[in-house]
Amino acid sequence: MNDPYEVLGIATDADEAAIRQRYLELVRQFPPDRAPERFTAIRAAFDELRDPARRIQNLILRPSRTTTLDALTHDLHARLRTARLPLDTLLALADRS
């Protein structure tokens, strides 16, 4: 699958409102009846990012250019810090474990 952030054309630190707004803009621009393939990619990217658990997984599994464990840890912390997930969502995910 393509990077959902690239498909939607948003930054990785975009919050839920920004993701939804961009999705709606793109759907108006590429409706399913005129651009079915593009719409399918946009919808898949939106579905990937609107689920908080999948967003976190996406941020964690994104390739990193760092090689040391400390650098990887720092990179992961930075990704999660900029994810902008609501606190109640993070707490609900923590309770699942």
pLDDT confidence of residue 61: 66
State the residue range of the domain holding 18: 4-96
Number of domains in the chain: 1
Give the start-end residues of each E strand in 7-93.
Answer: none
H helix and E strand count, the chain: 6, 0
Q: How far apart are CA 82 and CA 14, in angstroms?
A: 8
> Is this model's pTM higher than 0.85 or not?
no
Q: Check residue 71 and give its pLDDT.
A: 73
CATH assignment at residue 36: 1.10.287.110
pLDDT value for 38: 96
pLDDT in tens, the chain (97 residues): 588 989 999 987 788 889 999 999 999 999 999 999 999 999 999 998 888 777 777 666 666 565 677 776 777 677 666 666 667 776 776 676 5
